[in-house]
Structures are given as structure tokens and as C-alpha cells.
Amino acid sequence: MNILSILQIQPGTMILSGILIIGILFWIFWPEKGLIALLSKVNMNNQRVHLEDALKYLFDCEYRNSTCDMNGIAGNLNITGDQASKLLERLLSMGLIAINHQSITLTDTGRSYSLRVIRVHRIWERYLADETSVSQADWHNHADKIEHQVTPEDTEKLAAQMGHPVFDPHGDPIPTAEGNLPNHKGKSLSQLKEGNIGRIIHIEDEPRNIYEQLVVLGLYPGMQVYVTDVNEKKITFAADGDECTLTPLFAAHITVELLSGKVPLTQKYELLSELAVGEKAKVAAISPNCRGQQRRRLMDLGIVPGSLISPEIRSASGDPVGYRVMGTTIGIRQKEAELIFIDRPKETSTKQ
Amino acid sequence: MQNTTNKEREELLNEANSARWELGLDFHDTVIESIYSNASQIARKTVTQKGEKEAYSADLKIDKIVTSRWLGFPLMFLMLATVFWLTVAGANYPSGLLASLLVDYMHPILKSAAASINMPWWLDGVLIDGAYLSMAWVIAVMLPPMAIFFPLFTLLEDLGYLPRVAFNMDNLFRKAGAHGKQALSMSMGFGCNAAGVIATRVIDSPRERLVAIITNNFSLCNGRWPTQILIASIFIGGLVPAQLAGVVSAGAVVGIAVFGIFLSLVVSWGLSKSVLRGEASAFSLELPPYRPPRIWQTLYTSLIDRTIFVLWRAIIFAIPAGIVIWLVANIHIGELSLAEHFIQWSDPFAIIFGLNGVILLAYIIAIPANEIVIPTILMLTVLSTKLTGGAGDGVMFELDSVGDTANILHAGGWTLLTAVNLMLFSLLHNPCSTTIYTIFKETKSWKWTLVSTFLPIVMGLVICFFTTQIWMLFVVG
């Protein structure tokens, strides 16, 4: 067949086949849902992943002083009981776990292996939270994939780059490279009594659907909670002054450190984004939800508790607003201005 | 001895670690806060302010105008349009002067010098017609626009106006998942994509920076404006009565540039929804006070840092490319030269995209600089159609009159469709080698360099393909 016969094809057919080819290419290359992504996902579910995930789960049980059985592992890894028992056999033969009657415990080798995996996981979560703009609900899942793929050296390099962080973004301590971890502390929010004041130090990121809802409610490590009402069905508290109600099931996913001698925040902070051009206020705090580079940058520019701030110009397209702070004007997007808390001065005198 | 110190060190590190666990999450903030309160205490004691308020209120007045809802954008377009107009119009004369000096005057001298020392024809061809001429073209067409554009741009920057552009444009870029400062690298890209890629250094988050680097090529750079203007005035200006021709062809070129901006936003959006996923991240932009520009310093830095820097990179790539251009036109296999073989072989494919083999080959071998695409196309057209005229096989040339250029292109079988597709392909093809090299330098990643190189080519071919087929369906069919 002559090459030139291509030219005889009708333009209509050409257009259709062009669209078809583009469609197929998209289907193959589309990230996360495309053919290539699906194939690599199938590849991911290999033995190493299951092994490491099982160790992680066992360690987690141990850390929280709860017992752990085969069903728990099967449920956590989303595999059948049959697969789980095979997996346990393998772990046993590798000398990573010990089984007494029904309860499974880690051996020393198993513990240090799982601590290594956890270290990688938490460092990557920290990295995803601070240095990338991966959404909050995805940190855990991304880190779950990455932890099985990276080398320890890469992770150490990353940790050094970030200044050796000691907490992951959910408030969990990151094990040291030598495998040390501080003792479990804090209480579950569901155990708090009326009138208690505490600070959120951890929000459990599994299962994802509960975590997502807690994120939507705007809860994050570092918030002050003040419990106002507890009964069997629900617990009501003020989180940084904002009233919130959770069922005990949800509240159990939040770990709180009790604070004493603090004045409870009963009023919600006002947000910088609520200030109108020309008004003045004092920065009260930056939300802990603003992390990493973004937070450092705001603080570098002089947005620290106590500094005076005043919106001055609005951009032609409306969104970033120029704020006058510490003698310079800084453009901040609305979304970031919502993460900055302010104190309006008491209205003593009108404008000069 | 060694053992005990090691052990001690270990213990110390452990202690430090547990101390950091004890300190908790907001330890960093406390440190920064105390530094600030210390600093402000010291400042209050030692610094007295006098008369600063006045100067600042003038700034605020200007800011209120340049960022106002109604005047903000028109002022911005006016400012940028003036810069581009000054560049395109102002570069014409010095470019012609340089061309006549380096090409019309120096080239024959070198040729006759080579003849007088009995240089073999092929060496003379490779060195003088290939390497020297390609370098001369690049200097002649690249230097003047850059020497005008960069200082003007730097002046706007120095004045403090550019951050306001980013401030105004941010909303648009935020919606595309990009950074407001991409407006700056994009505007810089209109001057030179390599400089635009370097300008993305002002974006501090790595994801947004990559988006800005990959999409920078969609800004129609200085090297491509002349191609667009030439083709538009021959083929599109020719469609309307003479008195309207100028306006219509200028409109077509502006249309292509605006299409480029539109694509750069669409591609930014696509990238941040797929491979570079993520929400729009931190944006905080300092709006510095206006200040009178330091003219001499501006001239110096923009000439040395930008113009000479970019030009040097371009020359380094232009010399080997010139040799290749000469060789493909002069090495014969059988009856035909390599270039003709390629042109004949690729013509059937190129026609599906509404282009032709000459254009494809020109874009492949003229990779060092978009400026030499037109001279290469002319040379190849003359070569492949066996026209008289031109300057000889492998010798790039340009014609003084637009009419003569039009004649050659018409003889090469060009139609309005070819012209439209060339304009699209000139916007959407791989960045020049200088830019590709710069992208590699900036990203340190082969992967992103390849993406930035091939993404525009693929898009260009797809868009040309559909333009051509739809055209055939409705106009010809």
C-alpha cells in the first residue's frame, strides 16, 4: 500500500480517528486512574508491602497497649484470613514475630524493622505536609505507597533537609534512626470530663473516612480543646473557641494532652480575611493548619502574634489583598488570610 | 577512648531527641516570636522615625490606581504592549544594520579570504556558510531585541511595577493552580523563554515553579514574533484590502500570542490536576515601595546578566547547528541531498498536519534559535523546489522584500492553511535548545526537561492536525 493513500482518507474520518487516538492515549497515561497507573498498582501489592504493613500494624497495637490477632491484621491490610495466616507464617519463619496462644508479639528484630518503616512513613508525611501541596487527606495514603519504595538513605537525606523533624503532621513522634520512640502519652478525647482543657496532640489518620471528616471539621494537632458537655451519645467541646460535637467513636480518634492552669478560649478567633480595607488589628496567632514553608514565610515577613496588620489594597481581580505589616506591604491570598487569627482592637477611638 | 566518645555522643543525641519530643509542636514558633519581640524592643529603643509617612502615602496612591478594579488591567496591558512594541519596532533597524554588517559585508569577505588561501570547498562551506553564517544570523536577529527588551523589563521590575502585575494577575493563576508570580516569568518569556525559565526562580514552591517552567514556552518569544509577523502579513494580510492589511495581520499575531497565554493557563491547570497535583500553595508576595530606577545599573545588569548570557548560550548552540544545516543540504546520497530525502519522506506525514517537509526539517535543524527558522525554511524551499535565487545550498538567507519572500513560499506550495498551521506550530513546538538547556540546568531533571520539550510539540501537532482536518472538511471539502 502506498503511503500517499493516507491522504485519500476523508477529513471527517481523520478527525474521528484523531479523537479516538487521543482518547486512548489519555486512558493509558491518566495519572492514578489510567492503565499504566493501574498496572503499577497491581505490581505494588506484592509481598514486601504486606509484610511491612503487618509489622507496622503490630507495632501500633503494641504502642497503644492493645492486643492484636490475625483477624485484626486481615482487616487492617484488607486481605482474607487465609492470606493473613500465610503472611504470619512467613513473618514467623523470618523471626520477626512470636505467637503465644492467640496473641501476636513482635520480636526485637521485628520491632526495629517496623520502627524503620514507621520512621520512613512519618518523615514522608511531614514532607508531604510541609513542602508539597498534596491535600491533607492524601498524606497518609501517599506516604503508605512511598514507604515501600524509597531507600533509607533517601529518607535520611530528606529528614536532614527538613531539619530532622520529630513529629509527623498528625502529631505522632517520629522514631529516631536508632529506633527510639518516646512513651505513649495523652488521653483519648472521649475520656475527657466536662471542664477539662487540653491540646490536641494526635489525630488518627486511619480509617480514612473518619479522618477526612475530622479534617473537614477543622480539627488539627495543636488546637486547644475545652470540653463543655459530655454524655453517652456525644461529647461537646470548644476547639480554639469553635463549638464542635462528636460521637465517642469519632472522639476516640483524637488524642489530647491535658493542660492545667490555662484560660479556656471561649470565643472564636476572628480571621484576617474578615478585615475590611482600612481596618487595623493585631495578629493573634497563625493556625497550625498553615505549615512548613508557608508558615515560615509568613513569619519571616513579620506576621507573628502581636504585630499590627491592616489591609490596604485589593488586587484588580479581587483576591490577593495587600496587607501593611511591619512597614511593608504584603500580598496574601484569601485562603491564607483565613489561616491567620486576629484580635480587633477595642473600639476606643474612631479613626484619626 | 574512641568507644566511650561514641557512646557519649549517642547518649547526647538521644537526650536531645527526647528533649525535642518534650518541647512539642510549636517550639519553632516560640523561637521566632521571641526573636521578633526582642528585635522590636531593640528597635524601639534605638530607632526614631521621621517623615517616612509622607513618601509612603504617595506609594499607596499609586497602588490604589494600578491595582484598581477598572484601571488595573488596562494599565498593565498598555505597559506590556508598549514594551513589546518598542522591542519589535526598535529592533528592526539595528537588526538590519547588524545583518548587513555580518552577513552582507563580512560573509563575502570571509569567502574570498577562504578562496585566496585555497581552502577546500567543503571546509569553507562548513565553517563559513554553516558555522559562521548561523552565528551571524543569531547575533543579528537576537541581540537587538534582547538589548531593548531586557533593559525595559528590568526597568519595570526596578521601578516596583512588576510585583503589582503579579498581584493583579494572581487570581487567574490561582484558579489554574499556579503561582501569581508565574505572570512575571510568563511576561519575561515574551522576551526570551530561556530568561523566562530563569525568572521562575522567584517562585519558591517547587511544584508551582515546575508548572511555570513547563508552560513558559507558550509565551511567544522575541525569536518567534518576526516569524509570526512575516507570515501573517504575507498570507493573512493578503486576504483583505491593502489599507486593512496591517491591522488584520497585527491582529492575527496578537491573537496567536493571546492563544498562547490561554494555553499556558489551561496547561497549568491540567498539570496541577494531573502529574503535578496539588492545591495552590503558599502565596505571599512583597509589594516593595516604588523607587526611581537605577538606570545605569539596570542597563549593566540586564545587558550582562541576561542579554549576553542568553546570547552566549544561543551562539554555542548555533555553531554546531549551522554546520548540520550546511551538511544536510550538501551531503548527497544518490541524486538528492539528505535534506531533500528527508523532505520527500516526511511530506506525506506533514501534510496531514497541514505543514510540509520543509517546515518539519527547518524546526528540527533550526533548534538553536527560533530566529533562524525563516532563513532555514527559505533555503530549504529553494533547495527542494530547485528555484533560482537564494544564496546556495546550505546557505541561509533572508530577503529584504516581503514580496520576494512570498513568491518563494508560494512556489514551495504554501497556502493560507500552511501559513495558519505554521503560525500555530511556531507557537507550539519544542523550546529552542538554549531554553531546553536552561530548563535542565534549573530543574536538574531529565524527566521534566523531556516533558517541557515534547509536551508543546505534541500539542502543536494535535492542534495543527485538527485545524487542518476541520479546514478540509468545511473549507475545501
Listed as own residue / partner, the contacts of A170-173 with beta carbons closer than 8 Å and 24 or more positions apart are A170/A125, A170/A140, A170/A202, A170/A203, A170/A204, A170/A205, A170/A221, A171/A200, A171/A201, A171/A202, A171/A203, A171/A221, A171/A222, A171/A255, A171/B25, A172/A122, A172/A202, A173/B21
- The pLDDT tens digits for B332-376 are 887 788 888 888 888 888 888 888 888 999 998 888 778 888 888
Higher-scoring residue by pLDDT: B464, B332:
B464
B positions 76-135 inside 8 Å of A (CB)? 76
Checking if the pLDDT of B55 tops 60, the result is no
| ipTM for this model | 0.74
- The pLDDT tens digits for B411-461 are 888 888 999 999 999 999 889 888 999 999 999 889 999 999 999 999 999
Check if the beta carbon of residue B463 is closer than 8 Å to that of residue B259: no
A positions 86-105 inside 8 Å of B (CB)? none
Report pLDDT for B53: 56
Pick one of 1.20.1070.10, 2.30.30.90, 3.40.1190.10, 3.30.2320.80 as the CATH number of A270-343: 2.30.30.90
Report pLDDT for A351: 42
Residue numbers in B near A317 (CB within 8 A)? 72, 168-172
Its CATH class, for the domain covering A47-106, is: mainly alpha
Cα separation, A174 vs A179, whole angstroms? 9
* Ranges of each domain in chain B: 90-279+295-476
Confidence of residue B136 (pLDDT cuts 50, 70, 90): confident
- Fold of domain A120-182: Arc Repressor Mutant, subunit A (1.10.10)
Cα separation, B406 vs A117, whole angstroms? 68
Query: How many angstroms away from the CA of B263 is the closest CA of chain A?
Result: 18
Polymer length in residues for chain B? 477
Kindly give the residue spans of alpha helices, DSSP state H, lying in A96-244. 108-131, 139-146, 152-161, 208-216
Closest Cα in chain B to A182: B18
Per the CB < 8 Å rule, is B470 touching A133? no
Among A6, A15, A301, whose Cβ lies nearest the Cβ of B286? A301
A–B: how many Cβ contacts below 8 A? Answer: 173
Report pLDDT for A350: 44
Confidence of residue B25 (pLDDT cuts 50, 70, 90): low
Closest Cα in chain B to A138: B278
B292–A contact, CB cutoff 8 A:
no
Per-residue pLDDT 10s for chain A (352 aa) are 344 455 566 777 888 888 888 888 888 877 667 777 777 666 655 677 778 888 888 888 877 777 777 777 777 777 787 888 888 888 888 888 887 776 777 888 888 888 888 888 888 888 888 777 677 777 888 888 888 778 888 888 888 888 788 888 877 788 887 777 777 677 788 888 887 888 888 887 777 778 888 888 878 777 888 888 888 888 888 887 778 888 888 888 888 887 776 666 666 778 888 888 888 888 888 887 787 777 888 888 888 888 889 898 888 888 888 998 888 888 888 888 888 888 887 654 444 3
Among B167, B174, B204, whose Cβ lies nearest the Cβ of A322? B167
Checking if the pLDDT of B476 tops 80, the result is no
Report pLDDT for A349: 45
Q: Give the best residue of B38, B171, B275 to mutate against chain A (max A CB count within 10 A).
A: B171
* Ranges of each domain in chain A: 47-106, 120-182, 187-258, 270-343
How many degrees, rounded to 5, is the angle at CA B142 between CA B215 and CA B202? 40
Checking if the pLDDT of B213 tops 90, the result is yes
A24–B contact, CB cutoff 8 A:
no
Checking if the pLDDT of B395 tops 90, the result is no
Cα separation, A159 vs A152, whole angstroms? 10
- CB-count exposure of residue A84 (10 Å: 0-12, 13-18, 19+): buried
Is there a shared CATH topology between the A47-106 domain and the A120-182 domain?
yes
A182–B contact, CB cutoff 8 A:
yes
Confidence of residue B212 (pLDDT cuts 50, 70, 90): very high
Checking if the pLDDT of B214 tops 60, the result is yes
Query: How many angstroms away from the CA of B64 is the closest CA of chain A?
Result: 6
What cell was used for B234? Answer: 504575507
The pLDDT mean for chain B works out to 84
Among B32, B281, B288, whose Cβ lies nearest the Cβ of A133? B281
Average pLDDT over every residue of B109-124: 85
Confidence of residue B4 (pLDDT cuts 50, 70, 90): low
What cell was used for A167? Answer: 513529629
A positions 189-248 inside 8 Å of B (CB)? 201, 221-222
Q: What is the CATH number of domain A187-258?
A: 2.30.30.90
How many degrees, rounded to 5, is the angle at CA B352 between CA B347 and CA B354? 85
